[in-house]
Structure 1
């Protein structure tokens, strides 16, 4: 690791102007009308490309709760992982991240398929599926949390909402850049750069990249990752823009299931203790993606946006994981001998998306119509080759070597030769889906608008099981409607309500090769959007209820497969505020109450755990709160900023069908930055300031992910 880190640091330092960081320089027209709150903070958000699925609307006109996490907020807090950034929104809850190797989160209580990373959009394209590792925030202009009933437009999303990542786009005719490096706790070193170059008046290239290496707070676990995320922009006259984006990333880190918790004692082992096998080596996750978008303004009212993307990912590696079966787990007998499985993974995916939309407006009988028409086609191939060897049943009195035991109180790594994983799952899931959508928002009066829309989806899912030679296929289609109403009570207050139905294919099969019924959802929400202090402070208050059928959960006894748990419901209340207080103090506040529960009675056939109506959904806290304040001021004529924040996450279920709960936690963070010379700043951050013990997520009492202790970073940023 030392040699690898030295090489990475040297490469990073030597290539700062060619590689990665967070760019602050932004200018141009606000083509996608991103965020009222961001505008209130004085941030000019520019992509140069209209936003997919959005149309010509201000945030206050949309009958939906939308929260924006901008590049400035990411930079202030030094948030470099998507999962960490989403902690800033209380409606988002962490889920099982497959040993820290993919992004997994729930919005308003609904998480989707536990056997796949949580899907999200990148510039309007489905970009979250696949196995490319946790997404880095380098190259992100902003993160939009699109909460509530949007499935009738976006399609294939969870009813709780969708995350859309807007990347940093090449800015036509401009040259600017930032670069920087940082070091931090656990010997972490990282460098980033973001350079926008005007090649000609109509052609620009934006080169974004990062490289990072270091240890972690987990014993024997280190990380190495890099990414190159360039964007090319070409203007063909005043009305046509072509944008090409490349994503190329790699992550190398050991697979880490976390700690064990016996009898509710979260101090069973230290949070730093690694219970895998260092000799297994790293899991490697890599991604390569290409996207091309063409935007053409027909006139000042109508615009066409066409695009295509392809993304290929691969995840591979070996791991030694705690076995979850009580009939095989010796830990439940003596309190120290953890029986483990040896596992192998080769997960490969390829996703292709093409889409097009027409946006514009017209008048009929004095009524203004703003319409959005479009279609998309999505093809997703998900190949999973999974192997494992389990410990023998306790009834056979296996030896410690046969059970592949590690002593959780005094671990000795490499004590036994690891068993060779045997084939368990070798399957290709091939999903193709097509959709057509239409939306019309009609201004009935100066204050009252109505939104009508619908989406038609058609999908085919074929599964080929190469172990059982069982092939399965399912086809289905559905129309999903949406309705919304927006009423401007006054300049400072807008009321809205919305209803939507959703439709999403459940990919994969149960262990017997049966493809599940698609998920059907219904979403309702109502709320108020406020604009205070002459627009400097904006906020949204929302009440909602979501219901969906044919919900899946991971099959504990058959990894890579799912089981149907029936119906689920989520309802809650949200408050989001963003902007400036008097005294030029920046405020970010988010609170969510979420009541997410099963609505069906299910008996698991493998372990006989029972899910009852009213049981909470896993990893979903009732109450979550996040608040942050920061202030910019001058020191000896130089600009400086200080800020801090607090996050509270309530108690939540840690294992489905049990009484095991993760405790609540409160985390405090602090950050600061000061300009030392023109265009060069020093910055520092401290997360988990008071070194609280906390737990990010859990799948079972034996797979609990501890959160990081107090972590500090210091670094510099320079720009031109």
Structure 2
């Protein structure tokens, strides 16, 4: 029945794509990429912001790329799953599966907000639009290290940039796919690039997904429209407009509970919330407009603006985390639960402009990038809550909203009435200017000097306490780097940078926090041998101050916990082995730890210097192999991969750890007829019991068991 609904709901975009796309489809692995000095360059006619005219080997920074082919091979449909392929990125608390949260090089952002990321260079991840779908993504870039002098306002560990599929001017092609997966999940996607006139092209992208989960009572529905329109305004000017309209509906799910370190306290499929709370709904509507103009082959202009609105609404029943209110610790089966109601509304607007130039002063070549941007973010949160009373009052099961974890009976009690907890509007307005000059001193030696100046205003209007707080500040963030080409395939580099990120929100008294400030240093070696071998080996150390954590005793507020440090080594390689076997290898060893002695106010745990940061594994590896071949005269492809994630802290300030795990996967595809491909994947091949992340031993997110996917993809 679910598949029938899927087919009916998806027929319109599939028919539209089929009718509109009349030319032969271009293979996503060959049509969009060309090889140039060991660097993949996407040929869409759209220039990347903050990048300038550089080959990857010339940039004093480690950059990991997850290409469209890799996403397609693994039938990846979520950004979270895509980021698993880069070992420098680790999963964090996802607010019951309703937002994206991750750390790069051991550092995550604000626990009370989704992790920020960029979409075509624009801030796009801080809202509440649900977990990002992979539809419409051309590639994922993990921009690691000290880049804040250019990007500004980011985490020192790095920034994720999503490069979306853009309208390809003057061409007509398309694809459509339908797939079925385990847990009664069905999905369709369509992507049609239509040359309307000689200078105007529309790329229409849409998806719909409906399905269940390995978790009891959990279903979901997702859909989105992501069109892109391109217009040539003469030979040297291009205008691009991108639209985003998405919706996610699913229950809020905090996962399982763990007593006395026993990860088998309850089965991994047991839902401990309340189905009567029904779904959370996350919506997003976004716009991007970009104009690029080439004055000559050495000077260019890029101007853009974006606006994005998101809304998250819903109620949930979550395990109480404070021991003095949690009956489970007394009898091992009676789970006391809060009930929470959320209306989270956000609005973000960005404008930016940059000029890239290339000129000489005597024997020195300068490649400069000069620009400015303005960012405004409004975060409006209404949070209401019922909380179980302290155990010292001897509450009954009704008063504690109790669920028997060994024999759950849902709907046993009326849903508790929630009351106002916080009602707050946070506003951040920031303006930055930046300049960068990369100077070629010789054919082999380049230095990069740059800096960014930011001025920002933060305000918080607490409509429950009638307290208004405001803070204005400014900061200069310098950046420096050096690149030395030892020989044609080998380049050495080093970089240093400072950065900051404004801490949105206040403590419970209404005080706005000092911004996070960071210092980063890294050094490495890059190899660029075309398709045969390319990659980066990096050593790094990052330090940051004014780190915040959630205040569990006062939901929605934060507390300062001091300083933190992350250091480690990374290796990212890709290439081709003998026998035409393609390989991808990503490895990271990360030592991320607290550097201050503080008492965690959420649970009264002592945090000491050297304590590990939550959800950061010490070792992570991802390896993938694939090979193209002919089967009965038709193109075919087969491959597989393995991911290892080391043990990691599952709760701040305690010895609760999540165990390490190994996940294996297989994938393959075969051309059945011209422009028609059958594909399939098996994720978690050996059905490993694993844990994606944890915030507290009462909120542990179990990983997905073995999952099969099979689908058909047609090209036109």
TM-score band w.r.t. shorter chain: over 0.9
In 1, the alpha carbon distance for the partners of 2:35 and 2:555 equals 41
**Cα shift readout 1:420-443 (whole Å, capped 9, x = no counterpart):** 111001000000000000000000
1:674 maps to which of 662, 666, 670: 670
Which of 211, 214, 229 is matched with 2:211 structurally?
214
Aligned residue for 2:688?
692
Aligned to 2:81: 84
Counterparts of 2:531 and 2:172, CA distance in 1:
32
CA gap of 1:296–1:27, structure 2 versus 1, over 3 A, is farther
Match for 2:152 among 148, 151, 155? 155
Aligned equivalent of 1:558, options 522, 546, 554: 554
Q: How far 1:535 moved relative to its partner?
A: 4.8
**CA separation of 1:13 and 1:29: change in aligned 2, threshold 3 A:** closer
Structure 1 counterpart of 2:387, from 387, 390, 395: 390
Deviations 1:218-266 (A, max 9, x none): 0000010000000000001110000000000000000000000110100
**TM-score of the superposed pair, with normalisation by structure 2:** 0.97
Q: Give me the whole-angstrom Cα distance separating, in 1, the residues matched to 2:15 and 2:241.
A: 21
- Consecutive unaligned residues of structure 1, counting only runs of 5 or more, are none
Partners of 2:16 and 2:160 in 1: CA distance:
29
* Equivalent residue for 1:625, pick from 612, 621, 624: 621
Give the aligned CA root-mean-square deviation in angstroms: 1.6
State the partner residue of 1:8.
6
Contact 1:34 1:58 in 2 (8 A): no
**Are 2:636 and 1:640 equivalent residues in the alignment?**
yes
Q: Deviations over 1:381-408 (max 9, x none)?
A: 0011001010111111111011000000
1:235 alignment counterpart: 232
Contact preservation (8 Å) 1:336, 1:407: yes
Q: Distance in 1 between matches of 2:697 and 2:121?
A: 38
Partner residue in 2 for 1:407: 404
Deviation at 1:16, TM superposition (A): 1.2
**Conserved 8 A contact 2:17-2:174:** no
Residues of 2 paired with 1:471 and 1:392: CA distance? Answer: 30
Partner of 1:178: 175
The answer to whether 1:701 aligns with 2:697 is yes
- Cα drift, residue 98 of structure 1: 0.2
Q: Does structure 1 conserve the Cα–Cα contact (< 8 Å) formed by 2:550 and 2:602? A: no
Q: How does 1:132-147 map to 2 (within 5 A)?
A: 132-147=129-144
1:122 aligns with 2:119: yes
Q: Is the 8 A contact 1:13 1:191 kept in 2?
A: no
Following superposition, the deviation at residue 376 of structure 1 comes to: 0.1
Shift of 1:13: 3.8
1:483-508 CA deviation, whole Å, 9 max, x = no partner? 00000000111000000000110011
For the residues of structure 1 that align with 2:31 and 2:553, how far apart are their CA atoms?
55
Aligned equivalents of 2:430, 2:17: Cα separation in 1? 37
Verify: 1:64 aligned to 2:61, yes or no. Answer: yes
Kept in 2: contact 1:19–1:228 (CA 8 A): no
Aligned residues: 711
> SS state of the match for residue 330, structure 2?
helix
Aligned with 2:418 (options 418, 421, 437):
421
Check conservation: 1:27, 1:46, Cα contact below 8 A.
Answer: no
Among candidates 645, 659, 665, match of residue 661 of structure 2: 665
Distance 1:67 1:640 in 2: 27
Q: Deviation of residue 537 (structure 1)?
A: 1.2
Q: CA deviation at 1:19?
A: 6.4
**Structure 1 CA distance for aligned equivalents of residues 422 and 196 of structure 2:** 50
Q: Distance in 2 between matches of 1:608 and 1:638?
A: 63
1:15 Cα offset (Å)? 3.2
CA distance in 2, matches of 1:409, 1:23: 54
Are the counterparts in 1 of residues 150 and 435 from structure 2 also a CA contact under 8 Å? Answer: yes
Find the residue that maps to 1:16 and give its secondary structure: helix
Report the counterpart of residue 487 of structure 2 in structure 1: 490
Aligned to 1:195: 192
CA contact (8 A) 2:177 2:190 kept: yes
Change (3 A) 1:190 1:351: same
TM-score normalized with structure 1 length = 0.97
Match of 1:598 in 2: 594
Q: 1:25 to 1:663 in 2, by over 3 A?
A: closer
2:567 to 554, 567, 571: 571
Measure, in 1, the Cα distance between the counterparts of 2:586 and 2:29. Answer: 26
Q: Which runs of 4+ in 1 moved over 2 A?
A: 5-9, 17-30, 33-39, 44-47, 604-607
Aligned to 1:448: 445
Cα distance in 1 for residues equivalent to 2:243 and 2:6: 22
| Residue number among 494, 518, 521 corresponding to 2:515 in the alignment | 518
Q: What secondary structure does 2:325 align onto?
A: coil
Alignment of 1:336-375 (within 5 A): 336-375=333-372
2: distance between equivalents of 1:314 and 1:597?
34
- CA distance in 1 between counterparts of 2:156 and 2:15 reads 42
2:57 partner SS:
helix
> Which 5+ residue runs of structure 2 have no aligned equivalent?
none
How far apart are the structure 2 equivalents of 1:661 and 1:485? 40
